């Protein structure tokens, strides 16, 4: 048996998220079907760094799988891509130690959230950026960032649906870049809870629109209650950008 680590990219628009669910087209299902085909019907399971929700994109999701096949490592990428649909691509394949695990070995992640600051509808961005037609005070948003950095209990920034017990996470950086009408929020941290990035974005947008003050954020964190944070920003602006390993 050989273990392979793959970096994959997908346009989340037509997937019901990453994880297998009955009767849904998910990234995991499509990957496992292709791998099972390559293995002549022998079921191959994949493990990812984590799930992504319906509509969320990935530029650098990481998965691993095991295979007994004697395919040279540099042939795997072409073999997989020739069978995968156009909205899901393998960017690299690497042979790794049997003990590597895409999820448990991940030490950090980068997510990006893309906003298009425009009053005009853009047919080319409708699935790839959240169109925000209102005024935004980007300086106020940047002022709010330091309150979120570091290690906190992020219960307020986590979907109430989550089953995770420990909601302590560390955010290493949040950068906000503006290029023409595109505003991108870059989040790097050791891990993110269910909907955490989207709730952080929704809350920062409420700061940018003047509905909250930057200095309100410590109280939001302290409340440890989802109701105190802002709205969950839409899925289609979110990209799992990179997964970090030791």
**Number of H-type helices and E-type strands within the chain:** 5, 10
- Closest approach of Cβ 61 to a copy of itself, in Å? 11
- Closest approach of Cβ 68 to a copy of itself, in Å? 27
Task: Give the SS3 label for residue 38.
Answer: helix
128 is in an annotated binding site: no
Q: Which is nearer to a copy of itself, 118 or 190 (CB)?
A: 118
- Closest approach of Cβ 16 to a copy of itself, in Å? 16
Q: Which is nearer to a copy of itself, 128 or 228 (CB)?
A: 128
* Closest C-alpha among 245, 199, 240, 197 to residue 110: 240
* Closest C-alpha among 230, 220, 81, 239 to residue 153: 220
Q: Which residues bind a copy of itself (CB under 8 A)?
A: 9-11, 57, 59, 81, 86-89, 91, 120-124, 126, 128
CA distance 66 to 68: 7
- Closest approach of Cβ 85 to a copy of itself, in Å? 9
Note whether 134 and 199 are within 8 A (CB): no
Task: Give the SS3 label for residue 15.
Answer: coil
Task: Please list the active-site residues.
Answer: 53
Q: Which is nearer to a copy of itself, 10 or 187 (CB)?
A: 10
Burial annotation 67-103 (CB, 10 A radius, 16+ → b, else e): beeeeeeeebbebbeeebeebbebeebeebeeebebe
Q: Which is nearer to a copy of itself, 9 or 190 (CB)?
A: 9
Bind-site residues? 111
Binding-site residues for substrate, in ranges, read 111
């Amino acid at each position: 048996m050989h273990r392979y680590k793959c970096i994959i990219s997908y346009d989340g628009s037509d997937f019901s998220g990453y994880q297998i669910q009955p009767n849904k087209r998910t990234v995991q299902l499509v990957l496992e079907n292709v791998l099972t085909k390559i293995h002549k019907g022998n079921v191959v399971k994949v493990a990812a760094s984590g799930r992504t929700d319906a509509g969320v994109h990935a530029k650098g999701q990481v998965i691993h799988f095991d295979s007994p096949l004697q395919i040279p490592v540099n042939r795997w990428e072409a073999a997989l891509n020739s069978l995968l649909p156009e909205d899901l691509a393998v960017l690299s394949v690497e042979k790794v130690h049997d003990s590597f695990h895409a999820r448990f070995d991940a030490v950090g992640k980068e997510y990006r959230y893309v906003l298009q600051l425009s009053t005009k509808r853009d047919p080319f961005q409708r699935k790839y950026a959240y169109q925000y037609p209102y005024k935004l005070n980007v300086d106020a948003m940047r002022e709010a960032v330091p309150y979120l950095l570091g290690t906190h209990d992020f219960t307020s920034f986590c979907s109430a649906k989550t089953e995770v017990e420990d909601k302590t996470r560390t955010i290493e950086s949040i950068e906000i870049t503006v290029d023409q009408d595109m505003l991108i929020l870059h989040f790097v941290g050791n891990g993110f809870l269910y909907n955490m990035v989207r709730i952080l974005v929704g809350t920062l947008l409420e700061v940018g629109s003047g509905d909250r003050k930057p200095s309100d954020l410590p109280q939001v964190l302290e409340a440890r209650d989802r109701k105190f944070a802002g709205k969950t920003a839409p899925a289609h602006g979110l990209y799992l950008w990179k997964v970090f390993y030791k």
